[in-house]
C-alpha cells in the first residue's frame, strides 16, 4: 500500500511540484514572516512553511531522478565542456527555429538550471525555518527570497519553452 503511494507520488512528482510551487509563489505576498513564525500567524503563513517543506522534500528526489545513471549529462552538458547542441539551438533560435526537446540542448540546460534553483529555494527555505528566532534567520530569508525570484523567472522561461515545444509538435 505504502509502496503504491510512493510510486504514484514519483509518477506525478513533476506535476505536484509545479502545482505546489505555483501555490507558494502566488500566495507568498500574503505571508508575514521575518525572523520566525509569529504567534498569531495566519493560515497562509503555516501553509507556506509546511507546503514549502513538502516541496523541499520532493526537490531532492526530483534532482536525483534527473541526474542519476548518467542523466546529468543531459541537463548539465556544460560541466563536460559540451556546448555543441546548446550552441546549435541558440543559432537556430536566431533563424526562427524552435529547439528540440531532450538531448543536451537549450531546453535541457534550462531544465537543469531549474533543478538547481528548485534545490536552492528549498535549501534556503529550510535553513530559514531551522534558524528561526536567531539573527541568521533574516539572512536566510533574504537568500530564500532572492532564489525564489530566480525560480519564478525560471518558471516563466520554462512555461514559454513548454508552449514552444507544444506549438512545434502541432506544426509537425
Q: Using one digit for the tens of pLDDT, what is the confidence trace for 103-143?
A: 899 999 999 999 999 999 999 999 999 999 898 999 999 99
The alpha carbon dihedral of 133, 135, 140, 143 has a sign of: positive
Q: What is the pLDDT of residues 8-39, one digit of tens each?
A: 777 788 899 999 999 999 999 888 887 788 88
Other beta carbons within 10 angstroms of residue 32's beta carbon come to: 12
Q: Is the pLDDT of residue 4 over 90?
A: no
Other beta carbons within 10 angstroms of residue 107's beta carbon come to: 23
- Looking at every residue in the chain, the average pLDDT score rounds to 90
Q: What is the pLDDT of residues 53-99, one digit of tens each?
A: 999 999 998 998 889 888 899 999 999 999 999 999 999 988 988 88
Spatial contact of 25 and 37, defined as CB atoms under 8 Å apart: no
Determine the structural domain holding residue 126 and report its residue range.
2-171
Q: What confidence score (pLDDT) does residue 90 get?
A: 92
The structure's pTM equals 0.89
Q: Is the pLDDT of residue 153 over 80?
A: yes
Q: What confidence score (pLDDT) does residue 126 get?
A: 97
CA 74/CA 157 separation, integer angstroms: 18
R_g of the chain computed on alpha carbons = 18
CA 141/CA 35 separation, integer angstroms: 8
Q: Is the pLDDT of residue 170 over 90?
A: no
Looking at the 3D structure of the chain, how many domains does it have? 1
CA 78/CA 83 separation, integer angstroms: 6
Q: What confidence score (pLDDT) does residue 117 get?
A: 97
Spatial contact of 73 and 80, defined as CB atoms under 8 Å apart: yes
**Minimal CA–CA distance to 151: which of 18, 9, 15, 45?**
18
Specify the long-range contacts of residues 71-74, CB closer than 8 Å, at least 24 apart.
73/104, 74/102, 74/103, 74/104, 74/108, 74/112
Amino acid at each position: 500500500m505504502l509502496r503504491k503511494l510512493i510510486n504514484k507520488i514519483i509518477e506525478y512528482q513533476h506535476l505536484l511540484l509545479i502545482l505546489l510551487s505555483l501555490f507558494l509563489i502566488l500566495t507568498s505576498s500574503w505571508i508575514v514572516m521575518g525572523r520566525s513564525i509569529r504567534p498569531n500567524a495566519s493560515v497562509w503563513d503555516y501553509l507556506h512553511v509546511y507546503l514549502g517543506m513538502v516541496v523541499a522534500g520532493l526537490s531532492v528526489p526530483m534532482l536525483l531522478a534527473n541526474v542519476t545513471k548518467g542523466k546529468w549529462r543531459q541537463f548539465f552538458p556544460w560541466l563536460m565542456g559540451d556546448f555543441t547542441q546548446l550552441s546549435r539551438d541558440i543559432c537556430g533560435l536566431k533563424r526562427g527555429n524552435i529547439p528540440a526537446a531532450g538531448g543536451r540542448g537549450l531546453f535541457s540546460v534550462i531544465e537543469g538550471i531549474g533543478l538547481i534553483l528548485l534545490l536552492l529555494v528549498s535549501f534556503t527555505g529550510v535553513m530559514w525555518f531551522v534558524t528561526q528566532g536567531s539573527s541568521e534567520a533574516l539572512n536566510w530569508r533574504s537568500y530564500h527570497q532572492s532564489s525564489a525570484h530566480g525560480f519564478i523567472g525560471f518558471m516563466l522561461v520554462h512555461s514559454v519553452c513548454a508552449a514552444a515545444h507544444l506549438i512545434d509538435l502541432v506544426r509537425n
